Amino acid sequence: MPKLEFFDAWTSVGRTLGMHPRLPHSVDDLIGEMRRCHVANALVCRCGQDPQDLSAANRALSRLLPDFLSPLWTVIPGDAGDFPCGDQLLGDLENHRVPAVRILPKTHLWNPCGAAARSLFESLAEGGWPVFVPLDCEVSAAEFHELATALPNVRWVAVHGSWTRQREVADLILRHPNVWMTLEKYHANRGLEHLIRQGAGDRLLFSSGAPSASMGAAKAYVDWADADAATRAAVAGGNLRGLLKFQPAGKLAGFLEPDEIVADAMAGQPLSCEVIDFHSHILDDGANSGGNQVMLRGDADGLLDMADRIGIDRLGVMTWVGIQGPDQDGGHVPVIAASRAAHGRFWGLATIHVGDQSDTRKIQDLEAVMAQGNILGLKPYPTLGLPYDHPQYAALWRFAEQHGLYAGIHPFHWYQPDEFISLCTRYPKLKVVAYHAGCTYEIADTIITLCRDFPNLYAEINYSSVTGGIIEYLVEGCGEDRVLFGTDQPMRDPRQQLGWVVYADLPVAIKKKILAENARALLDELAASSEKVPAMI
């Protein structure tokens, strides 16, 4: 497979107020990501410039960047006299070889659908500059539809199209041929391939949000894309190059030599090392959604097909229906069926609706699920209404300690430490897996402190933020033996979560621990500690 040339359509440098000191933010941080991920060029915007004079901030950004990084200037209508307009603005953009612009109308308090905005956009279109528009945070989907319809000559780029809003995003890009879309937040399960099949492959742009988000996570979505070589090359960088007013003057040289894991990913091949997904959901056979969330091919066959494509060997699956609605038994049906499959690649987690049930009934329900499938863990969820250290859960945790089940915890009180402290203290033999530990550095700090205090606690990484540098931070703080790989698929696509680890700045031996060895050791320890006796309630 020919090597792809990547051009990142959305990166950002600069500090913001309240930023965690370890969150990557500098040009050097960005270049380090590019070298590790083999990305030749990037468009760059600036964080933290909101209180500054925009013209001065734009020029400062251009001065900051080497020739393989292209500035994405922020523009506003100039009617108030504080920003150049008309020929003066176009001349500034031309003189600084600015390839594209972005707008932040909510931040800068102007109406993107007003007359002044229309004049600005028409001038930019005439001059050949595409306009990058952050969805929701700056322009609503309804406003974007209005703009794309009213101004068909403008080449619009929708930024931050979220995997949680797939129906809206698909409606926008598939109905407006003058709209392109960046992919840094579009972690839609098989969403990239769906949009390509619908004819939008020439308007999709590889982007990462680096360095505050992992460039490798975004790159893996394209590395493992189920598309022909020409389309993958177009998404990787060709579409963006064809869109821009100016091309970068240079390309980054001196890429780092890929390790064996990165080399597999770059070749679009399944990883040759073992991979265990410690956090996956599963839908009923043939299902493509879980109500408000699109999850294309989210059943067992779909999970295995994707696993084979990227190299996941085993998956711990849990209900979606049973944590989002009242059907406990129906939610367990696909979990049990998958865990019983002859190939042995799935194990299941049980979700018991505690409510006001007696301890006897809860344990009977759990034992019934365990009798039917290979159930290795318990998965409570905030929607069930009670914090996990509530007395209604106590019988389940005692059973889990005795029978070698682990607890997969999406915190009821979102990363307040008391819940973890209570569980890990009361049930010292219970293995507690903290889901979503890679969400933010603040959450990672909480988990790191807890892992140092409680040897029965593990950090599972998955989150759509794919926060830059945080895998390395968790390894540093929790220890290389306490970090687990998980994806949350098919709610989100697993490729970004896998790329987050694959391209991390870590030795191969530690990547292998995160990807599988730690999970295998934990499951083996649980199996050895399990007591095959009737439950004590």
Side chain identity at residue 271, one-letter code: L
Residue 128 has pLDDT above 90, yes or no: yes
Q: Give the tokens for residue 353.
A: 């609706």
Claim to verify: residue 43 and residue 169 sit in the same structural domain: yes
In a domain, 524, yes or no: yes
In a domain, 262, yes or no: no
In a domain, 376, yes or no: yes
Note the pLDDT of residue 355.
87
- As a whole number of angstroms, the distance between CA 87 and CA 206 comes to 32
Percentage of residues in the chain having pLDDT higher than 70: 98
Claim to verify: residue 289 and residue 342 sit in the same structural domain: yes
Which residues have C-beta within 8 Å of that of residue 322, sequence separation ≥ 6? 328, 330, 331, 332, 351, 353
Angle, alpha carbons 456-312-238 (nearest 5°): 120
Note the pLDDT of residue 529.
82
Claim to verify: residue 283 and residue 386 sit in the same structural domain: yes
Task: Please report how the helices 441-453 and 470-478 are oriented relative to each other, as an axis angle in degrees rounded to 10.
Answer: 20
In the predicted model, what is the mean pLDDT of residues 194-207?
Answer: 98
Claim to verify: residue 282 and residue 214 sit in the same structural domain: no
Cβ atoms within 10 Å, residue 90: 17
Which of 24, 10, 98 minimizes the C-alpha distance to 57? 98
Claim to verify: residue 234 and residue 283 sit in the same structural domain: no
In the predicted model, what is the mean pLDDT of residues 332-347?
Answer: 96
Residue 534: pLDDT band by 50, 70, 90 thresholds? very low
β 6-13/346-350 pair status: unpaired
Q: Residue 529: phi, psi to the nearest 5?
A: -90, -10
pTM score over 0.85: yes
In the predicted model, what is the mean pLDDT of residues 284-309?
Answer: 96
Claim to verify: residue 445 and residue 315 sit in the same structural domain: yes
Claim to verify: residue 136 and residue 187 sit in the same structural domain: yes
Do 191 and 161 meet the contact criterion of CB atoms below 8 Å apart? no
Claim to verify: residue 421 and residue 508 sit in the same structural domain: yes
Note the pLDDT of residue 50.
74
In the predicted model, what is the mean pLDDT of residues 437-445?
Answer: 98
CA distances from 393 to 36, 196, 408, 527 (A): 45, 46, 13, 22
Taking only the tens place, the pLDDT of each residue in 66-124 is 999 999 999 999 999 999 999 999 999 999 999 999 999 999 999 999 999 999 999 99
In the predicted model, what is the mean pLDDT of residues 331-346?
Answer: 96
In a domain, 261, yes or no: no
Q: Which residues on adjacent β-strands are paired with residue 153?
A: none
Q: Structurally, how many domains does the chain consist of?
A: 2
Q: Which residue range forms the structural domain that includes residue 101?
A: 6-12+24-243
Residue 526 has pLDDT above 60, yes or no: yes
Note the pLDDT of residue 418.
95
Note the pLDDT of residue 1.
62
Q: Where are the alpha helices (DSSP H) in 23-114?
A: 27-37, 54-64, 86-95, 105-108
Note the pLDDT of residue 27.
98
Query: Using CB atoms within 10 A of its CB, is residue 10 exposed (0-12), middle (13-18) or buried (19+)?
Result: buried
In a domain, 399, yes or no: yes
Which of 300, 312, 220 minimizes the C-alpha distance to 274? 312
Do 381 and 409 meet the contact criterion of CB atoms below 8 Å apart? no
- As a whole number of angstroms, the distance between CA 316 and CA 349 comes to 7
Which residues have C-beta within 8 Å of that of residue 76, sequence separation ≥ 6? 54, 82, 83, 103, 105, 108, 110, 120
In a domain, 417, yes or no: yes
H helix and E strand count, the chain: 23, 16
Taking only the tens place, the pLDDT of each residue in 7-53 is 999 999 999 999 999 999 999 999 999 999 999 999 999 998 778 89
Note the pLDDT of residue 531.
57
Least-confidence region, from 41-50, 340-349, 428-437, 497-506? 41-50
Q: Give the tokens for residue 350.
A: 């049980």
Mean pLDDT of the chain: 96
Note the pLDDT of residue 321.
95
Which of 163, 159, 166, 111 minimizes the C-alpha distance to 137? 159
- As a whole number of angstroms, the distance between CA 352 and CA 88 comes to 65
Note the pLDDT of residue 356.
82
In a domain, 162, yes or no: yes
Taking only the tens place, the pLDDT of each residue in 368-427 is 999 999 999 999 999 999 999 999 999 999 999 999 999 999 999 999 999 999 999 999
Instruction: For 19-56, give one letter per residue: b (16+ CB within 10 A) or e.
Output: eeebbbbebebbbbbbebbbbbbbbbbbeebeeeebbe
Claim to verify: residue 220 and residue 329 sit in the same structural domain: no
Note the pLDDT of residue 232.
98
Which residues have C-beta within 8 Å of that of residue 192, sequence separation ≥ 6? 183, 186, 204, 221, 222, 225, 227, 235, 493
Residue 532 has pLDDT above 50, yes or no: no
Which of 155, 105, 165 minimizes the C-alpha distance to 134? 105
In a domain, 412, yes or no: yes
Residue 339 has pLDDT above 60, yes or no: yes
Claim to verify: residue 215 and residue 282 sit in the same structural domain: no
Note the pLDDT of residue 537.
26
Q: Which residues on adjacent β-strands are paired with residue 341?
A: none
Residue 536 has pLDDT above 70, yes or no: no
CATH number at residue 430: 3.20.20.140
- As a whole number of angstroms, the distance between CA 284 and CA 276 comes to 22
Claim to verify: residue 132 and residue 46 sit in the same structural domain: yes
Claim to verify: residue 442 and residue 511 sit in the same structural domain: yes
End of a domain among 199, 225, 243? 243
End of a domain among 228, 243, 258? 243
- As a whole number of angstroms, the distance between CA 338 and CA 298 comes to 12
Taking only the tens place, the pLDDT of each residue in 246-282 is 999 999 999 999 999 999 999 999 999 999 999 999 9
